[in-house]
Chain A
Amino acid sequence: MTKKNDPIPADATAPEGLTLSRRSFIEGLGATAGILAAGSVPAFLSATAGSATASEAAVEGDSLAPIIEEDQAVNYPGKPVKYADPAGDQKWAMVIDVKACIGCRRCVYACVKENNIGRNSGFTYIQVLEMEPGKIDLEKADPHYTEGGDPDKWYLPVQCMQCAKPTCVYGCPVIATWKEPDGIVVIDYDKCIACRNCLVTCPYDARHFNWVEPEVPAAERNPLVPVEEKAGVVEKCTFCIQRTRNGQTTACVEACPVGARKFGDLNDPESEVSILLKTRRVWRLKEETGNEPMIWYVG
């Protein structure tokens, strides 16, 4: 990677997690930079890691700062939605590696179970699109591909992007949906008037209306997620608000067998998503709509 992408702050805490192993290795190098012979370490490493200052830490923070800055609470009524814990000071984001995704739909199934999506509702929060090679052509994509996947195609999982500029939130006539300070777009099931304007304004087909009363087998119910309240109102992916605000990761990230999904906090420079956004070439779906989605794709 380039010089710009690898500076490390002196005050970085001990990193954790899979992708950070290389990083902790580098940091170890930095800590011992004075001892190591300068010639045995690439010049940029010894230069940055050895003398990382507060100003450089700020520079590093800056590379994601515009994104974090843009992602503000929208129409936030001041108190969190009833069925979730209050937002922390995180800024949630997800990165999906489409090169790794094999289209197995395990994220879809895990999500259905975790979020009490009605088994009769006819929708899932996550839609995996089977894409033709060579282009990102949604009109040629197939969300109903046969299980197993085709090695000649590639797979694009789409769900609520928790946009920084959420058209659904702007379009809701009664402020029954809003963006919380940590970036999660939530719906107040007790307020939704079922006008379905959010379904219309969403560019990602991420919102779904409960045309039928959702049926979830009693044994499979997740007590943390409402069920009855969802009849006749709109629901969608919440980045598993019931898990992520309690320190867990989302169900889809947990279920992915190939580790194609990374979820984390952009405010934390050590999080996987922060590192991926800074070190990899990432892209977002339908950038032209200007919704500034908080899910990035890589690969």
Chain B
Amino acid sequence: MAKKLITTTAPGVYRFIGVDFNIGALKSAGKRYWMFVALLGIIITLGIVAWGTALANGGSVMAMRDNYPWGLWFTNYMYYVGLSAGGLIVYASVHLFGAEQFKPLSRLAVLQAGVLVMLALLGIITDMERPWRAVYMLLTPNGTSPFVYTGSAANIYMIICFVDLWVLITGFGGKKLAQRMTLIALPFAIYLHTTTAFVLSLNKSRELWNSAVMVPIFLTSATASGIALLLICAYIMQSIGVFKFASSMFRSLATLLATVIIIDLFLLLVEILSVFWPTSAKPGHVVRLEHFFTGEYAWAFIPVLILGIGAFVLLAGRKTRHLPAIQITASAMYVVAIFFKRYSLMAMGFSTNTLGQYSSPYFPSLVEVLIALGLLSVGLMIMTLSAKVLPLQVPEDEHDEEPAALGAGAEPVVEAG
């Protein structure tokens, strides 16, 4: 990238800031690919319309009310932030712990982490009635508000992820810089998830949230769901022919997933136990949590336990755990379980308000659902286009020297074509 900003290195391949964008690959893409992109485009349009409705009419078009001041957007914030962790932890383990089997995943993991955090942040923006007031977060931040920390952490983390992706693709700075980026990114990933948990746990007004174990639960849930999503993503990418992975990598991922799941379930169990145990049960806590076992929220919380335990059992079976079907099923189960978990977690703070008044379950309104789906489609769209355009496949000789990155752009073309 000497004089011209955009240069062509091969037919249809445009080089910009050192990255080969393979626009040509889009031309050769099949009909199904474009139908999927068109579908995403429609959903995104619907989402934008829904957001416009929300901006024009205020919060009344949302299902949120004083009893549920945060709704689907907050569930998604926790969820996306959590999902993005796993990707980064896998990627970080490549550089810090020398887990070579995850190496082919590194670019995909970082891209996924960055896109998911972006969705989380867009979720906040679309929830605000006056998005431009977000500038006050920079002008007059309040040091005692956990929002300031989680908001800044998410923004910095997103930037780190995209810079990291750039470093990985261009090979800029070589192995050393990639390693250093990881040293920055990993603590930030943990910091981000800790502060997200703090948004809940640092509220003495909300009994079920106000527990220090919320932080480790967030970290383990995040890691487990992130790994599960990465595993699913890797399978999808492999099946559409973008990637080729060794089966040993999937086995390692599945083992890691099972380990984190069991820690996650354990932490959840001790938390439940300390709410109900006769010598520790406080009336406010018991009344609040009972709704999630026998009350109107059972549908949201019981699946967390069933799907969670089920996923672990599937992955624990020595004879079957190497099967792709089992791994995908278990991963999907846990990704869904974590969504229910985030949803119940949101509801646990709100279903019984601070004056002890129970309100019937919150279900997002159509506008909220459309905004959320629109955002999800934005994420899927970026991933779908990136799968073709960006050199996500890690070349065999990666990290040996800079020139290695040069060939990276060409490979997906061959595979996709």
B70 within 8 A of A: yes
Chain A residues whose CB sits within 8 angstroms of the CB of B39 once the complex forms: none
Which of A22-30, A84-92, A138-146 is the interface stretch? A138-146
**CB-CB nearest in chain B for A170:** B144
Residue in B59, B283, B355, B357 whose beta carbon sits within 8 Å of that of A204 in the complex: B355
How far in angstroms is the closest Cβ of chain B from A167? Answer: 6
0/1 interface trace, chain A 142-181, chain B, CB 8 Å (1 if under) = 0100000000000000100000000100111111100000
The residues in A between 230 and 283 inclusive whose CB is less than 8 angstroms from any CB of B are 231-233
Within 8 A of B (CB), among A189-211: 191-197, 199-205, 208-211
B180 adjacent to chain A (CB < 8 Å): no
Decide: B58 and A213 in contact? CB cutoff 8 A. yes
Majority secondary structure of chain A interface residues (helix, strand, loop or mixed): loop
Say if the beta carbon of A290 comes within 8 Å of chain B: yes
Check if A174 sits within 8 Å of B140, measured CB to CB. Answer: yes
- B204 lies within 8 A of A167 (CB): yes
What interface size band does chain B fall in?
35 or more
Cross-interface CB contact of A139 among B69, B203, B206, B352, cutoff 8 Å: B352
Which B residues touch A213, using CB under 8 A?
Answer: 58
**What chain B residues lie within 8 Å of A289 (beta carbons)?**
204-205
In the complex, what residue of chain A is closest to B357 when comparing beta carbons? Answer: A143
Chain A 72-105, CB-CB to B under 8 Å as 1, else 0, gives 0001000000000000000000000000000000
Q: Is A116 an interface residue (CB 8 A)?
A: no
Q: Would you call B133 an interface residue if the criterion is a C-beta within 8 Å of the partner chain's C-beta atoms?
A: yes
CA distance A101 to B136 in the complex (A): 43
Stretch among B145-153, B168-176, B269-277, B307-315 lining the A interface: B145-153
Query: Is B353 at the interface (CB under 8 A from chain A)?
Result: yes
Rounded to whole angstroms, the CA-CA distance of A203 and B59 in the bound complex is 23
Bound CA–CA A74/B58 (angstroms): 30
State the CA gap A123–B357 with chains docked (Å).
14
Q: Are B205 and A141 in contact (CB-based, < 8 A)?
A: no
Q: How far is the CB of A200 from chain B (nearest CB, A)?
A: 6
Q: Is the CB of A173 within 8 A of B69?
A: no
The answer to whether B130 has its CB under 8 Å from any CB of chain A is yes
Report the separation of the CA atoms of residues A193 and B141 in the bound assembly, to the nearest whole angstrom.
Answer: 12
* A59 proximal to B (CB < 8 A): no
A290→B151 CA distance, assembly (Å): 27
**Least CB distance, A39 to chain B, in whole angstroms:** 54
Which B residues are in CB contact (< 8 Å) with A137? 283, 356
A127 in contact (CB, < 8 A) = yes
Q: Does A129 contact B (CB under 8 A)?
A: yes
Minimum CB–CB distance for A205 against chain B, Å = 4
In the complex, what residue of chain B is closest to A178 when comparing beta carbons? B142
With a cutoff of 8 Å between Cβ atoms, the chain A residues found around residue B127 in the complex are 194
- Whole-angstrom distance from the CB of B356 to the nearest CB of chain A? 3
How distant is the Cα of A182 from the Cα of B70 in the complex, in angstroms? 32
Check A212 for interface membership: any CB of B closer than 8 A: yes
Question: In the complex the two chains form, is A200's CB within 8 Å of B130's CB?
Answer: no
Closest residue of chain B to A190, judged by CB? B133
CA distance A194 to B133 in the complex (A): 9
C-alpha spacing A208/B151, complex, angstroms? 23
**Within 8 Å CB of B60, what residues of A?**
211-212
Tell me if A15 is interfacial: C-beta within 8 Å of chain B.
no
Are A197 and B349 within 8 A (Cβ)? no
Contact with A along B54-92 (1 / 0, CB 8 A): 000011101011100110000000000000000000000
In residues 299-326 of chain B, which contact A (Cβ within 8 Å)? none
Is the Cβ of B66 less than 8 Å from the Cβ of A209? yes
Most buried by A among B128, B133, B147, B354: B354
The answer to whether B133 and A191 have CB atoms under 8 Å apart is yes
Chain B residues with CB under 8 A of A204: 354-355
The minimal Cβ–Cβ distance linking B316 to chain A, given in whole angstroms, is 38
Which residue of the partner chain, among B142, B284, B355, B356, contacts A173 with CB atoms under 8 Å? B142
Query: Which of B58, B147, B283, B287 contacts A211, CB < 8 Å?
Result: B58
By the criterion CB–CB under 8 Å, are A195 and B58 in contact? no
Residues of A within 8 A of B144 (CB): 170-171
CB-based contact B356/A141 at 8 Å: yes
**B residues near A205, Cβ cutoff 8 Å:** 66, 353-355, 357
Q: How distant is A64 from chain B, measured CB to nearest CB, in Å?
A: 26
**A201 to B147, alpha carbons, bound, how many Å?**
12
Q: Among B134, B205, B283, point to the contact of A203 (Cβ < 8 A).
A: B205
B10 in contact (CB, < 8 A): no
Q: Is the CB of A232 within 8 A of B58?
A: yes
Interface string of B328-367 (1 = CB under 8 A from A): 0000000000000000000001001111111000000000
Q: Are A175's CB and B203's CB within 8 A? A: no
Q: Is A122 an interface residue (CB 8 A)?
A: yes
**A129 close to B203 (CB less than 8 A):** no
- B183 is an interface residue with CB less than 8 A from chain A: no
What's the minimum C-beta distance from A238 to chain B, rounded to whole angstroms? 18
B interface residues, Cβ below 8 angstroms from A:
58-60, 62, 64-66, 69-70, 124, 127-130, 133-134, 136-137, 139-142, 144-148, 151, 199, 203-206, 283-284, 287, 349, 352-358
The 5 closest A-B pairs by CB, nearest first: A138-B356, A173-B147, A174-B136, A232-B129, A196-B69
List 19 A-B pairs, Cβ < 8 Å. A139-B358, A170-B142, A171-B147, A174-B136, A174-B141, A174-B142, A175-B142, A194-B128, A194-B129, A195-B128, A195-B147, A196-B69, A200-B349, A202-B205, A203-B204, A205-B66, A205-B355, A211-B65, A232-B59
